[in-house]
C-alpha cells in the first residue's frame, strides 16, 4: 500500500470515528466553471442583502489562496436528521438543523481534532478547517469529492442519506487519493420547485433566488420582512425545511447520534401561545448554545410577529 493510500484510509477511518458519516477527497484547484455560475448568481442579485457573498471572490474559487500549497480538499458530512417534531402543529416552526447546539462549534471542534490527528500520525500537515464560516464553495467541493450531487433545490444530496447533513472541509497540503463525482439523480422530479412556499427555486431548478428564500428572510435579512411575503412563510420562524421534507431522497435519512444536537427539553413542547409570549429570559434559556442566537431575541420576535400579523 502506498503512503498516499494509507494516509487516505487513515483519515477516513478517524473522521468516521469522530462522527462524520461520509468522507471524500478532491484535488485542490481553481473552480473555473463554478466561478462563472457564481458570477451569474451575483449579477442576478439572487444573494439579496448578503453583501458578504460578493467579497473575497478569488478566495472562494481557489483553495490554494486560502491554504498556500494546498493539494487536497477533504470534504465531510455530519448528520443532523431527527424524527423529533414540535408538538403543537400550530406553533411557529424551526428548521431541524437549529434544534440543538450551534453546528458551527460542534462540527468545527471535531474537524480540529481530525487535523490534529493528521499532524500527529502523518507528520507536518498545513491545513485549515471550515464549517460554513469562510469563503469556501462547500457544495461544489462536496460534489467533486463524491459526497452527492447538487439537486434542483441547490442542496447537496447523498444517494444513501438525502440532504439532512452539515458539510465541512479541511483544505490541506497533503496529497491523497481523489474520489469521483456522483452524477445527478434528480431526474424529472420537481417536488422541491412546486413545494417552495415563496417560489425561490427557479422553474427548472438548480438556481435559488436567496432573496425569496424563507431561510434568508428569517435569518440573513436584518431589515423588516417585505410585505409581499405575508401569508407565504408557511409558519416558519427560523429557517425552512420544505424543500428537504418533500425530497424523495430523504426517505433514506437516519436519525443522528450526536448528543449536542438534541433539542432543549422545553423547545419541542412550546405551544403557539408560548412562542407569541416569548420572553428574553426564555429565549436565552432555550437557545443558550443554539444557532438561533444569531438572529437574537429581537430578530426571532420580528419573525414570529410577521407570521401572526
At residue 93, the 3 state secondary structure works out as: strand
Confidence band of 272 (pLDDT split at 50, 70, 90):
very high
Question: How many other C-beta atoms can be found within 10 angstroms of the C-beta atom of residue 241?
Answer: 20
Query: For position 308, what pLDDT does the model report?
Result: 79
Tally the residues of the chain.
309
Are 78 and 168 spatial neighbours (Cβ–Cβ below 8 Å)? yes
Q: Does pLDDT of 55 surpass 90? A: no
**Average pLDDT value for residue range 41-53:** 89
pTM over 0.85: yes
Q: Does pLDDT of 33 surpass 70? A: yes
Q: Does pLDDT of 54 surpass 90? A: no
Query: For position 146, what pLDDT does the model report?
Result: 98
- Catalytic residue (choose from 62, 109, 132, 234): 132
Confidence band of 66 (pLDDT split at 50, 70, 90):
very high
**Average pLDDT value for residue range 229-247:** 98
Query: For position 133, what pLDDT does the model report?
Result: 80
What digits encode the pLDDT tens for the residues 282-303? Answer: 999 999 999 999 999 999 999 9
What digits encode the pLDDT tens for the residues 118-139? Answer: 999 999 999 999 999 888 999 9
Q: Which residues neighbour 259 within 8 Å (Cβ) at sequence distance 6 or greater?
A: none
Confidence band of 309 (pLDDT split at 50, 70, 90):
low
- 109 annotated active-site: no
Query: For position 209, what pLDDT does the model report?
Result: 97
Q: Does pLDDT of 204 surpass 80? A: yes
**Average pLDDT value for residue range 146-175:** 98
**Average pLDDT value for residue range 69-97:** 97
Q: How many CA atoms lie within 13 A of 150 on its CB side?
A: 16
Cell of 142: 462536496
Amino acid at each position: 500500500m502506498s503512503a498516499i493510500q494509507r494516509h487516505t484510509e487513515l483519515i477516513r477511518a478517524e473522521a468516521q470515528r469522530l462522527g462524520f458519516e461520509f468522507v471524500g477527497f478532491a484535488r485542490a484547484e481553481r473552480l473555473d466553471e463554478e466561478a462563472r455560475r457564481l458570477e451569474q448568481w451575483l449579477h442576478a442579485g439572487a444573494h439579496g442583502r448578503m453583501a458578504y457573498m460578493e467579497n473575497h471572490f478569488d478566495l472562494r474559487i481557489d483553495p490554494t489562496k486560502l491554504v498556500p500549497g494546498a493539494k487536497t480538499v477533504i470534504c465531510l458530512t455530519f448528520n443532523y436528521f431527527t424524527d423529533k417534531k414540535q408538538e403543537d402543529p400550530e406553533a411557529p416552526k424551526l428548521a431541524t438543523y437549529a434544534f440543538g447546539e450551534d453546528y458551527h462549534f460542534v462540527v468545527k471542534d471535531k474537524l480540529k481534532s481530525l487535523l490534529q490527528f493528521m499532524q500527529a500520525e502523518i507528520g507536518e500537515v498545513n491545513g485549515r478547517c471550515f464549517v460554513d464560516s469562510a469563503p469556501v464553495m462547500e457544495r461544489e467541493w462536496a460534489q467533486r469529492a463524491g459526497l452527492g450531487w447538487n439537486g434542483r433545490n441547490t442542496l447537496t444530496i447523498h444517494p444513501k442519506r438525502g440532504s439532512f447533513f452539515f458539510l465541512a472541509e479541511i483544505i490541506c497540503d497533503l496529497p491523497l487519493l481523489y474520489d469521483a463525482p456522483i452524477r445527478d439523480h434528480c431526474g424529472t422530479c420537481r417536488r422541491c420547485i412546486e413545494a417552495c412556499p415563496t417560489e425561490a427555486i427557479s422553474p427548472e431548478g438548480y438556481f435559488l433566488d436567496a432573496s425569496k428564500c424563507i431561510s434568508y428572510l428569517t435569518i440573513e435579512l436584518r431589515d423588516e420582512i417585505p410585505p409581499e411575503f405575508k401569508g407565504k412563510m408557511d409558519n416558519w420562524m427560523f429557517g425552512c425545511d420544505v424543500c428537504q421534507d418533500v425530497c424523495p431522497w430523504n426517505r433514506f435519512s437516519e436519525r443522528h447520534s450526536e448528543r449536542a444536537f438534541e433539542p432543549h427539553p422545553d423547545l419541542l413542547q412550546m405551544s403557539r401561545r408560548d412562542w407569541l409570549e416569548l420572553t428574553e429570559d426564555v429565549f436565552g434559556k432555550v437557545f443558550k448554545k443554539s444557532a438561533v442566537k444569531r438572529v437574537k431575541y429581537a430578530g426571532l420576535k420580528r419573525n414570529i410577529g410577521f407570521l401572526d400579523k
